[in-house]
Amino acid sequence: MPGILVFGDNHLLLEGPLPDAAQAVELARFHSVVEIGRATPAALAAWTIVTKAFRENLEWAWVAPGDGDRTEAVRILLEEMSARGVEVRTAAG
C-alpha cells in the first residue's frame, strides 16, 4: 500500500505496509543519506521507494524528525489526506 514519509523538508513516497513509529524514524534515517550500492537492511526491506503515486491512493502518512521546514506542497498534501480520513502520524526521534 502506498504512503508518504515526511522528514524535515524532504519526503518519500513508499510502497509497503503502514510502518510503526520506530520504523518510520528508521526509514527516514536510512533514506536521508544516499549511498550508491548500499544494501537495504532486512528490517526495512518491506518498503520500496516509488517515483510516482496518485495522491488519492496514498493510504498512510508519517512525519518524522528532520532538518528544515516542511514544504508548502507537502503541507497541502498532508491536509488533503487528513481531510479524506487518513491519519497523519508523527514520530518522535
Rounded-to-integer distance, Cα 11 and Cα 5, Å? 5
pLDDT of residue 92: 84
Question: Is residue 58 helix, strand or coil?
Answer: coil
Q: In the numeric block, which cell numbers belong to residue 93?
A: 526521534
Contact (CB, 8 A) for 1 and 18 = yes
Higher pLDDT, 74 or 33: 74
Is residue 93's pLDDT more than 70? Answer: no
**2-7 and 10-15 beta bridge pairing:** antiparallel
pLDDT of residue 34: 82
Note down the domain range covering 44: 2-90
Write out pLDDT tens, residues 27-64.
999 998 888 989 999 999 999 999 999 999 999 999 99
How many domains does the structure of the chain reveal?
1
Averaged pLDDT for residues 81-87: 97
Is residue 90's pLDDT more than 90? Answer: yes
Q: In the numeric block, which cell numbers belong to residue 76?
A: 497541502
